[in-house]
Amino acid sequence: PLLQEELEHLNQANEEINRVELQLDEARTTYRRILSESARKLNAQGSQLGNCIEKARPYYEARRLAKEAQQETQKAALRYERAVSMHNAAREMVFVAEQGVMADKNRLDPTWQEMLNHATCKVNEAEEERLRSEREHQRVTQLCQQAEAKVQALQKSLKRVIVKSKPYFELKAQFNQILE
C-alpha cells in the first residue's frame, strides 16, 4: 500500500511537471511572438522618424542610468537608517549594562561585565557599519546628482530631437514592460 501511494504521488508530480512544461512552452512562444512584433513595430517607427532616434538615444540612456542611481540612493539611505538604528540600540545595551555593573558597587559581577564587554563590541561594530553606510550613501547620492545633471544637460541640448523621437522611445518602453 505504501508503494502504491508513493507511485500515485509520483504520477501526480509527473502530471504537474508536464502541465508546467506546456505552460513554459506557451510562455516562450508568446515571448518570441511579442519580441518579433515589437522589433518589427520599432523598426517601422524608426524608419519613419529617421536619425533623430540615434541622436536622442544618449538622453534616454542617461535617464535610465539616473533612475537606477536614484534607486541605489534609496537603498543606501535604508541601509544607513538601519545602521543608525542598530547603533542606537547597541548604545542602549551599553547603558543598561553599565547600570547593572554600577548597581552593586561592592562586588564586580562577571555576568554584568561580560554583558558590558559584549555591548561595547556591538557599539563599535554598529559605529563602523554606520560610518560605512554613511559614506556609501554620500557616494551614491553624488553619483545620482551627477546623473541627474547629465540628464538635464542632455535635455537642454537635445530638446528638439527628444520631442521628435518621443513616440519611438515610449513604444519601446511599453514593449519592454510587456516583455518583462
Structure-block grid coordinates of residue 38: 515589437
**Band of pLDDT at residue 100, cut at 50, 70 and 90:** confident
Which candidate, 175, 135, 163, places its Cα nearest to that of 39?
175
Structure-block grid coordinates of residue 29: 512562444
**Band of pLDDT at residue 98, cut at 50, 70 and 90:** confident
How large is the average pLDDT for residues 49-75?
A: 95
Tens digits of residue pLDDT in 1-32: 889 999 999 999 999 999 999 999 999 999 99
Residue 69: how many other CB atoms lie within 10 Å: 19
User: How high is the pLDDT of residue 101?
Assistant: 78
User: How high is the pLDDT of residue 106?
Assistant: 60
DSSP codes joined into one string, 33-75: HHHHHHHHHHHHHHHHHTTHHHHHHHHHHHHHHHHHHHHHHHH
Cβ contacts of 127 within 8 Å, gap of 6 or more: 87
Could you state, in order of their start, the residue ranges of all structural domains in the chain? 59-164
pTM for the whole structure: 0.72
Euclidean distance between CA atoms 35 and 176, whole angstroms: 9
pLDDT at 83 over 80: yes
User: How high is the pLDDT of residue 70?
Assistant: 97
